[in-house]
Amino acid sequence: MRYFLDISYRGANYHGWQIQENAVTVQGVLEKALSNVLGAKIDILGSGRTDTGVHASSQIVHLDSPREFDPLLIFRINGYLPKDICIKSARLVRDDAHARFDATSRAYVYRITLVKNPFEIGLAYYFYPPINIDEMNKAAALLLKYEDFESFSKVHTDVTNFNCTIFHAYWERSGDMLYFHVKANRFLRGMVRTLVGTMLEIGKGRMSLDEFVEIILAKDRKRAGISAPPEALYLSEVEYPAEVYKHV
């Protein structure tokens, strides 16, 4: 039986999502827990990678299970997992359903605290200079007009193109917190953090909107701003067409 598991995790203690030699990763820890509880070697595949230190409030993985996933089984696996990884739910899917290739969209949230807050350490970026959120929202709106985001991608990545369709991108302030919401059909490695770092330059008045457009068109990572810290980034949603699920 193939399942989609909805996973959440804090990324601080892990070298990203994907299994690596001589490194502790979320995928590796989760596969070990599943294999031990289910009594068989379990391989999982996620909807996408998250980098070292990045969190997920909703990461989707698929696996083929020898047992039915009921609430008691999820409870047992969660008891085996460390405190910073959790299975939230499991849904039965088609035998050929694929967590990565069947996803129609992914969404991220980047969290910024505008005041020093000890309760946000490791969970948000403390950014203290005054910033113009209206200008940053104008920049975010411009993203929907373009598809090639090579300027915001890590170099030497194994992709065939840098095209992404962005469905929404906007900044939202709530009290002393600032959130960047972005949703697209796919994301490039390091893309969201580089977008945030570049738009913060606009917010500080160090970059104009015209210069921002020039960076997009340049298709050159060296033109964009620095990458914002990883500990404030969250994979927040992965969507799939209804037909991937089995309704029982």
Cβ 61 vs Cβ 5: under 8 Å:
yes
Q: Which residue has the tokens 């290739």?
A: 101
- Residue 93: strand, helix, or coil: strand
The Cα–Cα gap between 156 and 6 comes to 30
Measured CA to CA in angstroms, residue 221 lies from 82, 170, 191, 202 at distances of 37, 22, 10, 17
51 carries an active-site annotation: yes
The Cα–Cα gap between 194 and 220 comes to 12
What amino acid occupies position 62?
Answer: H
Q: Which residue has the tokens 């997992």?
A: 81
Q: Which residue has the tokens 């945030």?
A: 196
Strands 105-113 and 125-126: parallel
- Residue 199: strand, helix, or coil: helix
Strands 45-46 and 55-64: antiparallel
Catalytically annotated residue among 6, 43, 51, 70: 51
Residues involved in catalysis: 51
